[in-house]
Amino acid sequence: MRTVEWTDQNRVRMVDQRRIPWTLAHVEYDDYRDVALAISDMVVRGAPAIGVSAAFGMALAGIQCTALDVGSLLEYLEVAAVILKKARPTAVNLAWAVDHMMDVARDERLDRAGDVREALLAEAERMADADVAINKQMAAYGAALIHDGDTILHHCNTGMLATVDYGTALGVIRMAHEQGKKIHVLLDETRPRLQGSRLSAWECEQLGIPYDIIPDTAAGYYMRRGEVTRVLFGADRVAANGDVVNKIGSYQIAVLAKENQIPCYSVFPTSTVDLAIPTGDKIPIEERDPAEVRAPYGCAIVPDHYHARNPAFDVTPHVYFSGLVTEVGVLPPPFADSLAAAVRHAQPPVEA
CATH number at residue 99: 1.20.120.420
Flag whether 213 is in a domain: yes
Whole-angstrom Cα distance, residue 51 to residue 313?
Answer: 17
Whether residues 127 and 156 fall in one domain = no
Flag whether 109 is in a domain: yes
Catalytic residue among 236, 243, 314, 337: 236
Whole-angstrom Cα distance, residue 160 to residue 153?
Answer: 18
Q: Which amino acid belongs to residue 67? A: A
Whole-angstrom Cα distance, residue 193 to residue 135?
Answer: 24
Whether residues 220 and 277 fall in one domain = yes
Flag whether 12 is in a domain: yes
Query: DSSP string covering 266-299, please?
Result: EE--GGGEETT--SGGGS---B--THHHHSGGG-
Whether residues 131 and 16 fall in one domain = yes
Boundary-marking domain end, from 109, 135, 161 = 135
As a whole number of Å, the CA-based R_g of the chain is: 20
CATH number, residue 167: 3.40.50.10470
- Whether residue 100 contacts residue 72, with contact meaning beta carbons closer than 8 Å, is answered with no
Flag whether 307 is in a domain: yes
Query: DSSP string covering 224-242, please?
Result: HTT---EEEE--SEEETTS
Flag whether 180 is in a domain: yes
The pLDDT value given to residue 1: 87
Question: What is the spatial order of strands in the sheet that 329-331 belongs to?
Answer: 211-214, 184-188, 151-154, 230-233, 264-267, 323-326, 329-331
User: Is residue 221 classed as helix, strand or coil in its secondary structure?
Assistant: helix
The pLDDT value given to residue 349: 42
298: left (phi over 0), alpha (psi -120 to 50) or beta: left
- Domain, as residue range, for 162: 146-346
Whether residues 180 and 87 fall in one domain = no
Whether residues 160 and 222 fall in one domain = yes
The candidate with the shortest Cα–Cα distance to 44, out of 21, 16, 19, is: 16
**Do the bridges between strand 237-239 and strand 244-247 make them parallel or antiparallel, or are there none, so unpaired?**
antiparallel
Helix and strand numbers (H, E) in the chain are 11, 14
Whether residues 117 and 172 fall in one domain = no
Whether residues 22 and 67 fall in one domain = yes
The pLDDT value given to residue 348: 58
Whether residues 78 and 179 fall in one domain = no
Flag whether 236 is in a domain: yes
User: Quick check: is 131 catalytic?
Assistant: no
Flag whether 41 is in a domain: yes
pLDDT < 50 stretches in the chain? 349-352
Give the single-character DSSP code of 159: B
Whether residues 186 and 243 fall in one domain = yes
Whether residues 215 and 239 fall in one domain = yes
Strands (E), the chain: 4-6, 12-15, 26-29, 151-154, 184-188, 211-214, 230-233, 237-239, 244-247, 264-267, 273-274, 313-316, 323-326, 329-331
User: Is residue 186 classed as helix, strand or coil in its secondary structure?
Assistant: strand
Q: How many domains does the chain have?
A: 2
The candidate with the shortest Cα–Cα distance to 134, out of 229, 51, 37, 256, is: 51
Flag whether 140 is in a domain: no
Whether residues 152 and 66 fall in one domain = no
- Whether residue 58 contacts residue 37, with contact meaning beta carbons closer than 8 Å, is answered with no
